[in-house]
Structure 1
Amino acid sequence: MTIDFTMSDEQKKLQYDVRAFAENVLKPIVAAADAEPDPLKGFQMTKPAYVEAYKAGIAMCMLPAEYGGGGISCVDLVIAAEEICVVDPGFACTVLCNGLGLMPVAWYGSEEQKQKFLGAATSDPTGEYLGGWTASEPPGNPSGTANFDIPLPRPAGVGLTAELDGDHYVVNGRKYWPSSAGWDERGVNAGTLIVRTDPNVGGTSGLSALVLERDTPGVTYRHLDKTGHRLASNAEIVFENARIPATNLLPGAVGNGDLVINRNFAWSGPVAAIAAVGMARAAYEMALDFAKGNTAGALKPIMGFQNVGYVLGDVAAKIEMGRYFSWRAADYLDKHDQHAELVGAMNKIQVTELMFECVYKCMQIVGVNSLETKNGFGKILREASVLPIYDGGNMGMQRRRVHGILADPLFNPRAIMEDDYVVFGKHHEEIDTIAG
């Protein structure tokens, strides 16, 4: 008996098709869009490529097939994502956020909500439909979102409040870093919004999720300017007595917004990890080519020197390690109803940090020439620096989730090795959210 890491013919075709899209459609626009000083204009420059991705079935590939999505497995999603991330992980993040914003509807929504929101997402004739994930809040004292599950009432934890008023929720507060302001700062078409429906209790019982739709009155957007992932849209969103229909409340998420956050960032963990693999792969292939074609003043290319060969050999091995751990985490998601709160976090933490080191090692091989903009390493380094920080920061919440599970007296340290389902519950939250 063997453990088979061989891609099927269908997976090879998926990889080939997505690679062709990334190289032929996306790559020609990336340099100019990334260099555009106005971040909103830069994002808008990716719109034609996004429409092509939508029409090719890439943009909504992760949504359930019964609602018009691609219905692909998490493993297939990771295989496809690597090919886009090698070219630009910011654009890949736009696609990923369709999943972050709409998979909670598939997991926690009513049948009517699934038909309405998922159906609309997968049947847009313009191909411009965007999903959004709106959880993070601005820094401050108190504010921020890393300790969203702190067991204290407001103002600790999530500050965005949603108060039921008749058949609407009245929403007030701010969000910061949500996945998109939309193509025109009027918001995405629809997405999941984490709100505090009970300000008098802590984050493990006071949070819920609403579907936030485009052009909701009382909601304003400001596109953020960033050093990395410039081709993804992130925004500051202000809610001033915004009225969201009560029918947009996800029933399975009432009082469980904390679990939505944890599940969502575990689901996306392998995608963030494979994005890091893609960045390291891009840097490695460029550094290897440089080493084989440049002498650095010696009589033969530097690839003939031991240090260069050793460093690049280590990088190549670590890229393989990162890829297979990402495949493994995605496979775990597929086997366990898209739950991988422990494995997904471990995967994202270790791979994104390891791959950042690999990118820098490749820059050391190239030397000072890696700093010249035209050579592309600077952009790769900027993109790689994003990955350990965003999508549920490694230091902010991913490690804390792992800590909470490992601290459980009933935790089986051999569970992952034995492919057992590691259940994540509210009793695993709150750990170390109160200093001291």
Structure 2
Amino acid sequence: MAIDFTMSPEQRQIQAMAREFAENVLAPVVPEADREPDPLLAHARTKGAYVEAYKAGIAMAMLPKEYGGGGLSCLDLTIAAEEICAVDPGFACTVLCNGLGLMPVAWYGTEEQKKRFIGAATSDPTGEFLGGWTAGEPPGGTGGTANFDNPFPRPAGIGLTATRDGDHYILNGRKKWSSAGGWDAKGVNAQTVIVRTDGDVGGTKGLSAIVVERGTPGISYEFVNKEGHRTASNALITFDNARVPVDNLLPGAAGNGDFVINRNFAWSGPVAGIAAVGMARSAYEAALKFCKANTAGSLTPIIRFQNVGYILGDCAAKIESARYFCWRASDYLDKHEQHAELVGAMCKINTTEAMFDVIYKCMQVVGVNSLSTEYPFGRFLREASVLPIYDGGNMGMQRRRVHGVIADEGFNPRAVMEDSTIVFEKSMESIGTVADWDRQYSNSGSTPFVSAAE
């Protein structure tokens, strides 16, 4: 029987190490960091814990072992991530963004780039090295992120341009929600940035990925003030004639920046899902403890009432099922060369939305006291609200990826069950990105959708 949900001794050791770190090193700094009104300082208050995570091998655990990383499988990473996310998914996001920023180098970079960027990330004697992922853009106009693979040329889709000038690219534009602000709002050590290298074609042809290093002139950072994930870095970045060496362009991602976005957000899907599981687990355990200790004016603790017991029982079942979906999606990534564009998206959608409901149900059984800051439920709800709308929003990107795959004529609806490889093609992109295409072009004879996405 090949299907086995029992963790190996090594996986139990990984889980125990992550739990010990989360409960003993991370947990003491989270309350003050979460209350800090300045988003830069909130992030900076976790720096000491991050250095400890770096020294323990947690911060770079997902990077390839041959370049100094931990070489953890996606499944092992997911197991460890749950323990950290149960304490603070914002801090876990900081660690995850090392992967989002540097795994594209492992996938699409040259051997020299892998040694240079990943090697630097895994050999920092200070333990402060941060990787960053920079894809999103501010709302307004036709620029933005959700429709990054829009079939139309500029100004639709990604707006940050990279123009070749000798041995450099000149970057101009703005990005938002980037994890690249760094400890001091002067940038992370290395960030992978999605840029428009060809503005005359659509997003399935005109996007690329380039690594931007800390200290590059012409870049400014402003931290975004957020309701949740306050310990994580998110920045508004302005590129003003920033000169980045041509050698920093990832060759496998030239004209394939769309693939980088899709693969990255599929790779991180189970981690975002397990972050939701971690928060829901903490909410469930806190609610169960409350309901066993409080009577609400009755003669017995309220856990003895059917409505409370039934609701918490349902919550426990949903947490278990979500955890196993995350394990399954991670296992699929490991078996299919870290490609899971369909499964990763489905996992993130299903688990993050289900776990948000679980946390609110826990608040309902606790009642109005769940709103009091003496209990952690308010923070749990804030953190859980982030998960369905970040990391490739469920509505903006994830569901569209699923739609594109299942609409393909060659899609096998039993592929996941049979553990078959699902190859993600450019023909699966752009679906649903042009809501009024028929109205604009049905009478013009123009077919930009077909020509740009073929």
TM-score normalized with structure 1 length: 1.00
SS across alignment from 2:119: helix
Question: 2:352, 2:388 within 8 Å by CA — same for their partners in 1?
Answer: yes
Query: Which residue is 1:310 aligned to?
Result: 310
Query: Which residue is 2:17 aligned to?
Result: 17
- Between the aligned partners of 2:184 and 2:196, the Cα distance in structure 1 is 27
Query: Which residue is 1:257 aligned to?
Result: 257
SS across alignment from 2:34: helix
Q: Which amino acid aligns with 2:154?
A: R
* Residues 52-92 of structure 1: CA deviation (Å, up to 9, x unaligned): 00000000000000000000000000000000000000000
Query: Which residue is 1:132 aligned to?
Result: 132
Residue range with higher mean Cα deviation, 48-57 or 171-180? 171-180
Query: Which residue is 1:42 aligned to?
Result: 42
Q: Calculate the aligned-residue CA RMSD, in Å.
A: 0.5
Query: Which residue is 1:200 aligned to?
Result: 200
Query: Which residue is 2:164 aligned to?
Result: 164
Question: 1:180, 1:232 within 8 Å by CA — same for their partners in 2?
Answer: no
What aligned pairs does 1:94-173 form with structure 2 within 5 A after superposition? 94-173=94-173
Q: Which amino acid aligns with 1:18?
A: A
- Between the aligned partners of 1:145 and 1:304, the Cα distance in structure 2 is 49
- Between the aligned partners of 1:341 and 1:42, the Cα distance in structure 2 is 33
SS across alignment from 1:177: strand
* Residues 202-256 of structure 1: CA deviation (Å, up to 9, x unaligned): 0000000000111110000001110000000000000000000000000000000
Query: Which residue is 1:406 aligned to?
Result: 406
Deviation (angstroms), 1:141: 1.3
- Between the aligned partners of 1:179 and 1:38, the Cα distance in structure 2 is 16
Question: 2:180, 2:191 within 8 Å by CA — same for their partners in 1?
Answer: no
Query: Which residue is 1:360 aligned to?
Result: 360
Question: 2:211, 2:250 within 8 Å by CA — same for their partners in 1?
Answer: yes
1:232 and 2:232 are equivalent in the alignment = yes
Q: Which amino acid aligns with 1:21?
A: F
Deviation (angstroms), 1:374: 2.0
SS across alignment from 1:59: coil
Q: Which amino acid aligns with 1:381?
A: L
Question: 2:14, 2:80 within 8 Å by CA — same for their partners in 1?
Answer: yes
SS across alignment from 1:222: strand
Question: 2:134, 2:179 within 8 Å by CA — same for their partners in 1?
Answer: yes
Deviation (angstroms), 1:410: 0.8
- Between the aligned partners of 1:157 and 1:164, the Cα distance in structure 2 is 20
SS across alignment from 1:163: strand
- Between the aligned partners of 1:96 and 1:289, the Cα distance in structure 2 is 31
- Between the aligned partners of 2:422 and 2:384, the Cα distance in structure 1 is 29
* Residues 330-386 of structure 1: CA deviation (Å, up to 9, x unaligned): 000000000000000000000000000000000001100000112010000000000
Q: Which amino acid aligns with 1:337?
A: E
How many residue pairs are counted as aligned between the two chains? 436
- Between the aligned partners of 2:389 and 2:146, the Cα distance in structure 1 is 11
- Between the aligned partners of 1:407 and 1:333, the Cα distance in structure 2 is 22
1:283 and 2:283 are equivalent in the alignment = yes
- Between the aligned partners of 1:108 and 1:182, the Cα distance in structure 2 is 24
- Between the aligned partners of 1:215 and 1:301, the Cα distance in structure 2 is 59
Q: Which amino acid aligns with 2:64?
A: P
Deviation (angstroms), 1:157: 0.2
Deviation (angstroms), 1:180: 2.7
Question: 2:270, 2:347 within 8 Å by CA — same for their partners in 1?
Answer: yes
Q: Which amino acid aligns with 2:120?
A: A
Overall identity of the aligned pairs, in %: 73
1:387 and 2:360 are equivalent in the alignment = no
Query: Which residue is 1:424 aligned to?
Result: 424
- Between the aligned partners of 1:132 and 1:154, the Cα distance in structure 2 is 25
Query: Which residue is 1:349 aligned to?
Result: 349
- Between the aligned partners of 1:95 and 1:229, the Cα distance in structure 2 is 13
Runs in 1 of length 4+ with deviation above 4 angstroms? none
* Residues 400-434 of structure 1: CA deviation (Å, up to 9, x unaligned): 00000010011000000000001101000000110
Deviation (angstroms), 1:163: 0.3
Query: Which residue is 1:333 aligned to?
Result: 333
- Between the aligned partners of 1:54 and 1:46, the Cα distance in structure 2 is 12
SS across alignment from 2:209: strand
- Between the aligned partners of 2:355 and 2:185, the Cα distance in structure 1 is 33
Deviation (angstroms), 1:173: 0.2
- Between the aligned partners of 1:348 and 1:386, the Cα distance in structure 2 is 12
For structure 2, the 5+ residue unaligned runs are 437-454
- Between the aligned partners of 1:374 and 1:100, the Cα distance in structure 2 is 35
- Between the aligned partners of 1:306 and 1:432, the Cα distance in structure 2 is 45
Q: Which amino acid aligns with 2:418?
A: E
Query: Which residue is 1:209 aligned to?
Result: 209
SS across alignment from 1:312: helix
- Between the aligned partners of 1:431 and 1:37, the Cα distance in structure 2 is 40
- Between the aligned partners of 1:361 and 1:63, the Cα distance in structure 2 is 37
Deviation (angstroms), 1:2: 4.9
Question: 1:265, 1:391 within 8 Å by CA — same for their partners in 2?
Answer: yes
SS across alignment from 2:374: helix
Query: Which residue is 1:187 aligned to?
Result: 187
Query: Which residue is 1:177 aligned to?
Result: 177
